[in-house]
Amino acid sequence: MTTITKRVITGLILLFILGLVFYPRLKEYFQKAPTTGAPAAGVRPGGGKAIVSVMVVEPARLDEVVKTTGTVLANEEVEIRSEVSGKITQLSLREGQNVQKGTILLKINDDDLQAQLKKLEYSKKLAEDNEFRQRRLLEKEAISQREYDISLTSVKTIEADIENITALLAKTTIRAPFAGRIGLRYVSEGSYITPSTRVTMLTSVNPAKVEFSIPAKYADNIRVNSRIIYQTESSESTHNGTVYAIDPQIDPQTRTLQVRALSPNPKGELIPGSFARIELIIGSKGMAISVPTEAVIPEQNGHKVFVVRNGKAQPQVVEVGVRGESTVEISRGLNAGDTLITTGILQVKPEGAVEIREVINRPLARVEAQL
């Protein structure tokens, strides 16, 4: 027997032994293996129906918008400072307090001014008596006109000095120039302040202002009373505003146009300095039908969608209009009340049965302008 023959016989014996060892396990594995394939995604196992989500088509206002960013500003804001130097004798403001216009915020020591005023009042009384006597003498031609003019000028000079002191006294009392909220204060009662000393900030935030810029190419599309919709970084709430001022010139460095809008803020939710994500409405196409972009299927000769009728998917040829970030306008092919398939389209077949898993809300009818 040759060496090759011996090797072949030995190999066959080894295979036979391995077969005896692993045969029970292989038999058990094949008996447990599934007899049918896994169901396709979007199809109910054994049911044959495509599981889809739908929306009921409804016309909505279709707006053309420009997306940009901006900053929330206070309607009115002023840094409270004193016009005169002196020691604070009364500090009536509290941080975070809402005050009305004319409310006294603080008073500065005015004792020296009060003394000067009293002195001038006494001098004025004496000067007026002297002027009266000089006038009587002038009527009798006992004195010259020049002597009388000197006494009259003395009265007028004292009156002017009194007005000056009165004005200085008024400056020792600082009042709120408008209704608003007090910010953080930087002085205390008894502090000596000068016109350069920062006392506090007074801010009015109702309504709030929103400042933003848009590319110059949209300058002809924006007008006073144009509407904006925006959100701030601190809240997901949506706020509305109206453009009230437009910069008369385009910034030559950035090629943008500065715009300001007013936004109601009765609860003080809008905080000055907040970052804002803004949608500026530059035009409207009126009432139109818009659907999610993923619901529209492009074809060689156009576009189509699937609608549900009598529990079955029906293909519908449509014409599309302007596109937005996540929506597209349907100018022809869909009617109000149609049930449009929005998800699960890949498993849908024409005239195939479908099962509705979810009815989603109608998307926001917005068209984003290209920046």
pLDDT reported for residue 370 = 42
Using a pLDDT cut of 70, give the percent of the chain over it.
87
At CA 333, angle to CA 332 and CA 337, rounded to 5? 110
Residue 103 inside a domain? The answer is no
The domain of 1 spans: 1-33
**Which tens digit of pLDDT belongs to each residue from 73-118?**
999 999 999 999 999 999 988 898 999 999 999 999 999 999 999 9
Mark whether 273 and 297 lie in a shared domain.
Answer: no
Res 44 pLDDT > 50: no
Q: Assess if residue 188 is contained within a domain.
A: no
**CATH code: domain of residue 298:** 2.40.420.20
Token pair belonging to 63: 């707006």
Task: Note the pLDDT tens digit of each residue in 230-261.
Answer: 999 888 888 999 999 999 999 999 899 999 99
Calpha distance 210→181 (Å, rounded): 19
How many angstroms separate the first and last alpha carbons of the chain?
Answer: 89
Mean pLDDT, rounded, of the chain:
84
Whether 340 contacts 57, CB under 8 Å: yes
pLDDT top residue among 90 and 41: 90
In terms of domains, do 275 and 341 share one?
A: no
145-171 and 111-139 are packed helices; what angle lies between their axes, rounded to 10 degrees?
160
Residue 36: band (very low, low, confident or very high) from pLDDT cuts 50, 70, 90: very low
Q: What is the pLDDT of residue 347?
A: 85
pLDDT of residue 219: 87
Last residue of a domain, one of 285, 320, 346: 285
Say which residue, 284 or 253, is predicted with more confidence: 253
Same domain, 151 and 294: no
Residue 72 confidence (pLDDT):
94
State pTM to two decimals: 0.62
128-185: pLDDT as tens digits? 999 899 888 888 888 889 988 899 999 999 999 999 999 999 999 999 999 999 999 9
Side-by-side strand order, sheet with 173-175: 173-175, 104-108, 86-91, 192-193
pLDDT > 60? residue 278 = yes
What does the DSSP assignment read for 84-150? S-EEEEEE---TT-EE-TT-EEEEE--HHHHHHHHHHHHHHHHHHHHHHHHHHHHHTTSS-HHHHHH
pLDDT band at 64 (very low <50, low <70, confident <90, very high): confident
The whole-number pLDDT of residue 27 equals 58
**Does a structural domain hold residue 135?**
yes
> pLDDT class for 321, splitting at 50, 70, 90?
confident
Q: Is residue 117 part of a domain?
A: yes
Question: What does DSSP assign to residue 46?
Answer: T
Distance between CA atoms of residues 227 and 70, nearest Å: 15
Domain boundary among 155, 171, 187: 171
pLDDT at 182: 93
Question: Which of 259, 285, 311 is the last residue before a domain boundary?
Answer: 285
Given a cut of 60, is residue 358 above it in pLDDT? yes
Residues 353 and 292 in one domain: yes
342, 343, 347, 353 alpha-carbon torsion, rounded to 10°: -60
Are 250 and 324 members of one domain?
no
Q: Is residue 156 part of a domain?
A: yes
Q: What sign does the dihedral 334-339-344-345 (CA atoms) show?
A: negative
Assign residue 228 the CATH number of its domain.
2.40.30.170
- Res. 40: pLDDT tops 50: no
pLDDT at residue 330 greater than cutoff 50: yes
Count of structural domains, the chain: 4
Residues 6 or more apart in contact with residue 187 via CB below 8 angstroms: 88, 91, 106, 193, 197, 199, 200
- Assess if residue 359 is contained within a domain: yes
Instruction: Please name which of 218, 257, 211, 241 lies closest in space to residue 66, comparing C-alpha atoms.
Output: 218
Burial class (CB in 10 A: 0-12, 13-18, 19+), 268: exposed
Residue that has been written with the tokens 């156009």 in this structure? 302
Backbone angles phi, psi at 174, to 5 degrees: -100, 125
> What sign does the dihedral 88-90-96-97 (CA atoms) show?
negative
**286 or 25, greater pLDDT:** 286
Q: What's the average model confidence in pLDDT over 254-281?
A: 91
